[in-house]
Amino acid sequence: MLFSVTFVSPRQGWAVGDEGTILATTDGGATWQAQRSGTKAWLSSVAFVSPCQGWAAGENGTILTTADGGATWASIHYVRWPAPWFWILGCGIPMLLLFWAYRLQSALRPSEISVSSALVSDRPLDAGEPDPLHFSVIARGLSRFLRHEQTQPPLTIAVTGEWGTGKSSLMNLLKANLSRYGFQALWFNAWHHQKEEHLLAALLDADRSCSGPPWRHPTNWRFRIRLLSLRIGRHLFGLLAVGIVYALIVGYLWNNPELLRAFFQSFPRYERPDDECPFAGGSGPPGS
């Protein structure tokens, strides 16, 4: 029993059927010759794209191919691979779980830092470094006190202690905490200038160098405008009073210009005597 027939030309064609039957003709179907398929599966379809290249397919996923016009047929063995998303999920999820487990293990691992290992160097602590003596708690408390609206300047806070007890570390942490809230801190090491005669000059120079951004930076102009507005706001009523008085004086003199002219004419005028001029009397310069 045949199930499918195909022709690539009026004379050359193939037919397939049950139990792996493949027949070929070269005379338009007048005679047919059997070809060895190598299978007993029923073949339900056959197709050729040229007199040499063709395929036959049948039950149970059977696919045969030929490259010599059917003289030899070979089975196509194919493998069905999973979709790309399967590899993404199959590899990505285990990696995420491993990373999460590593982070969890690191977080649960007890810290091995102690006072003896953290204080090997006398370098002051910076924000984010291990703080075994809990200076950050004191720094946050001082920062909250300084930032409180009820804390009014002038104010002096002294941090005293022996050398190596953590004064600079505490000040570093306090400076970092104030910076987090937008406060500009001025760091001045007075002991660096202990041999100078004018300590105030060094302090003012340090304040000038770090109290504001560079003058070319746009932030500098915003800073200067904001500083000017704050200073004007403190003396706003006085400046308005002076401006009003000045405007009244200018307006009065503008409407009465003779007063201003009489004011300038009231000053004595200096006139040089004739005998002080060496060329007076029309004598002209010597030799003329």
pLDDT of the chain, 288 residues: tens digit per residue: 888 999 999 999 999 998 889 999 999 889 999 999 888 888 999 999 999 999 999 988 888 999 999 899 998 876 677 777 777 877 878 888 888 887 777 666 655 555 554 445 667 778 878 887 788 899 889 989 988 888 888 888 888 888 878 888 888 898 888 888 888 788 887 777 777 777 788 877 777 776 666 666 677 778 778 888 888 888 888 888 888 998 888 888 888 888 777 777 776 765 555 544 444 444 444 444
Same-domain status, 12 and 58: yes
Q: What is the model's pTM? A: 0.34
Same-domain status, 52 and 32: yes
**C-alpha to C-alpha distance for 264 and 246, rounded to whole angstroms:** 19
Say what the pLDDT of residue 277 is.
44
**Radius of gyration over every alpha carbon of the chain, rounded to an integer in angstroms:** 51
Number of residues assigned to the chain: 288
Q: Answer whether residue 168 is part of any domain.
A: no
Nearest residue to 191 (alpha-carbon basis) of 183, 203, 179: 203
Q: Answer whether residue 201 is part of any domain.
A: no
Q: Select from 52, 75, 98 the last residue of a domain.
A: 75
- Domains: count for the chain: 3
Same-domain status, 223 and 253: yes
Neighbours of 62 (CB within 10 A): 18
Same-domain status, 47 and 103: no
Say what the pLDDT of residue 283 is.
44
Same-domain status, 225 and 249: yes
Same-domain status, 233 and 259: yes
Say what the pLDDT of residue 284 is.
47
Q: Answer whether residue 93 is part of any domain.
A: yes
Q: Answer whether residue 173 is part of any domain.
A: no
Say what the pLDDT of residue 114 is.
52
Parallel, antiparallel or unpaired: strands 63-66 and 74-75 = antiparallel
Return the ∠ at Cα 213 (arms to 209 and 217), rounded to 5°.
Answer: 135
Q: Answer whether residue 70 is part of any domain.
A: yes
- Using the structure block, give the residue that is written with the tokens 């004018």: 198
Q: Answer whether residue 202 is part of any domain.
A: no
Q: Answer whether residue 61 is part of any domain.
A: yes
**C-alpha to C-alpha distance for 86 and 133, rounded to whole angstroms:** 52
Q: Select from 32, 51, 75 the last residue of a domain.
A: 75
Q: Range of 69's domain?
A: 2-75
